[in-house]
Structure 1
Amino acid sequence: MQTIPTHTSLVAVGDSFTEGMSDRLPDGTYRGWADLLAARMAAAQPGFRYANLAVRGKLIRQIVDEQVEAAAAMRADVVTLVGGLNDTLRPKCDMGRVRDLLTEAVERLAPHCKQLVLMRSPGRQGPVLERFRPRMEALFACVDELAERHGALVVDLYGAPSLADPRLWDVDRLHLTAEGHRRVAEAVWQTLGYPPEDPEWHLPPEATLPPRWAARRVADVRFARQHLLPWIGRRLTGRSSGDGLPPKRPELLPYGDR
């Protein structure tokens, strides 16, 4: 019989992926995999506490400077750390520097939580991201090395066929849909040792007829105008979509509290 873990607290550290974009709620805020995971863990453990320090657009340097110390001070049972992917998508990226900063983050967090969780982030298929794939894979190799060295768990989202499926990505092609976030929450849940609720989370959805050529071209034009060009503009000017935004849940509070 499987023993259900007894985690009493969770702190999530990272960028837009952990903030929850694009799993938008009716009030315009974002939910995402970390909130979904916290809800499940709270249902399994009375008094469960949760903080989410993630802010969209953050680079690994900003995550280290703005989130890591606060997360370590909370001394949570579980800390999730996902960062560095935004760096790999910048026109200029010093991967040696990214590895050093990720190492610093892990070394500062690991001694102050019972279980550190790292991830190999999901990567959809497509020509825009293809040029960045070597950087992404170098980042994930670093994640694997750090996990082995510090006893962290690794959730392999990059190797999950479901999360490479374009149907699980929002129209901006950078963030997961609500269904994508649900699958990530399931993956982390299982990695932490909880009994599976969806053993096939990693399998792609059932096949559907692809959109017609004309519909795909219309979608491509809309994507370029509404998302790709503004994203490129922010990269070239050093701006971020998260500039001036606070963390979504900066204090480690009982799950039902805000």
Structure 2
Amino acid sequence: MAEASPLRYVALGDSQTEGLGDGDDTTGLRGCADRLAEQLALHHPGVLYANLAVRGRLAGQVREGQLAPALALRPDLATVVAGVNDLLRPRFDPDETAAHLEAMFAALTGAGARVATVTFPDIGRLVPLARPLGSRVTALNARIRLAADRHGVALADTARHPVVTDPRLWSEDRLHAGPRGHALIAASVAHALGLPGADDSWTRPLPGPGAAPRTVAGELRWAHAFLSPWLARRVRGRSSGTDRTAKRPALLPVTPASDPAPAPLAPPRQHGGSVR
């Protein structure tokens, strides 16, 4: 009897999918998509994984630059996560952003792939200066939920759970998840897909004391270290992803990790499930 073909997983998106905040450009980035691939490898030996994400990309740029290469890889599973960079632009249009996401959902599911996506936390809870963007996040999330439902896309609705804005999950720049946050995102998508061993433990508050209160001095240091460079790039018409390409454009084997969902997540309750 012929052996079954290995599961093919392709990740599309921006910096979160690329893995910023979980490792660095010197030692290498891991990130939520890598962590999900490692979790898939526990149950699908020989899984092949490509990550086409590039930091700084808008949803339309993800669609234009990543969708065709993703389809060419004939994925069984694809994750599509984009839209936060759109939220930060002055002329943000939630309908336009969601339309790009839905077009990717339609094309990938139409090609036979199982697709998963996420909703986004209110970044105003992490960056006080971003509080006026809360209505934008709400509007985009509502459209993502509708589009996911129309196309049978597995939705990790992280926005509905307060834990996702716990500062301990986020990197120093407050716009990218840290290692603990990337582990939580991977766990949420695994749960949405019904992977074996995945459950809703990612929705629970983190154990232990919370993050220390922020101070004026700390906010000034953050603005100098992270906000000022971001504004400077906007003035120059550049993004963090200018001149960058995907870190893993080809389907390659994945080694199961010993810690696909490390310590901060509560111990899971076991149950079965599969990608398909």
What is the TM-score of this pair, normalised by structure 2?
Answer: 0.83
1:224 aligns with 2:235: no
SS at match of 1:239: coil
Per-residue CA shift, 1:145-184, capped at 9, x if unaligned? Answer: 1111111111111122221111211110101110111111
Further displaced range: 247-256 or 149-158: 247-256
Q: Give the Cα–Cα distance (whole angstroms) in 1 for the partners of residues 75 and 101 of structure 2.
A: 19
1:97 aligns with 2:123: no
Q: Give the Cα–Cα distance (whole angstroms) in 1 for the partners of residues 24 and 49 of structure 2.
A: 19
> How far is the alpha carbon of 1:204 from its aligned partner?
2.2
Q: Which runs of 5+ in 1 are unaligned?
A: 1-5
SS at match of 1:62: helix
> How far is the alpha carbon of 1:208 from its aligned partner?
1.8
Give the structure 1 partner of residue 152 of structure 2: 151
Q: State whether residues 169 and 175 of structure 1, in contact with CA within 8 Å, keep that contact through their aligned partners in structure 2.
A: yes
Q: Which amino acid aligns with 1:71?
A: A
Give me the CA root mean square deviation.
Answer: 2.1
1:63 aligns with 2:39: no
Give the structure 2 partner of residue 178 of structure 1: 179
Per-residue CA shift, 1:103-162, capped at 9, x if unaligned? Answer: 322222221243111210233414222111111111111111111111111111112222
Per-residue CA shift, 1:32-60, capped at 9, x if unaligned? Answer: 11101101111211211000000110011
Q: State how 1:70-89 maps to structure 2 within 5 Å.
A: 70-89=69-88
> How far is the alpha carbon of 1:94 from its aligned partner?
2.7
Moved over 4 A (4+): none
Q: Which amino acid aligns with 2:220?
A: V
Q: Give the Cα–Cα distance (whole angstroms) in 2 for the partners of residues 100 and 210 of structure 1.
A: 37
Q: Give the Cα–Cα distance (whole angstroms) in 1 for the partners of residues 138 and 27 of structure 2.
A: 33
**CA, structure 1 residues 147+209, in 2 after alignment: closer, same or farther (shift >3 Å)?**
closer
Q: State whether residues 90 and 235 of structure 1, in contact with CA within 8 Å, keep that contact through their aligned partners in structure 2.
A: no
Q: State how 1:113-132 maps to structure 2 within 5 Å.
A: 113-124=112-123, 125=125, 126-132=127-133
Q: How many residues are paired up?
A: 249
Q: Give the Cα–Cα distance (whole angstroms) in 2 for the partners of residues 114 and 232 of structure 1.
A: 38
Q: Which runs of 5+ in 2 are unaligned?
A: 256-276
Q: State whether residues 79 and 113 of structure 1, in contact with CA within 8 Å, keep that contact through their aligned partners in structure 2.
A: no
1:205 aligns with 2:206: yes
**CA, structure 1 residues 221+153, in 2 after alignment: closer, same or farther (shift >3 Å)?**
same
Per-residue CA shift, 1:10-50, capped at 9, x if unaligned? Answer: 11000001111101159432111110110111121121100
Give the structure 2 partner of residue 246 of structure 1: 245
Give the structure 2 partner of residue 3 of structure 1: none
Q: Give the Cα–Cα distance (whole angstroms) in 1 for the partners of residues 211 and 38 of structure 2.
A: 34
Further displaced range: 191-200 or 177-186: 191-200
Give the structure 1 partner of residue 47 of structure 2: 48
Give the structure 1 partner of residue 167 of structure 2: 166
Q: Which amino acid aligns with 1:73?
A: A
**CA, structure 1 residues 59+193, in 2 after alignment: closer, same or farther (shift >3 Å)?**
same
Give the structure 1 partner of residue 263 of structure 2: none
Q: State whether residues 158 and 164 of structure 2, in contact with CA within 8 Å, keep that contact through their aligned partners in structure 1.
A: yes
Q: Give the Cα–Cα distance (whole angstroms) in 2 for the partners of residues 242 and 135 of structure 1.
A: 23
Give the structure 2 partner of residue 36 of structure 1: 35
Give the structure 2 partner of residue 112 of structure 1: 111
SS at match of 2:11: strand
Per-residue CA shift, 1:54-95, capped at 9, x if unaligned? Answer: 011001121011101111221211100011121011122233
Q: Which amino acid aligns with 1:200?
A: S
SS at match of 1:201: helix
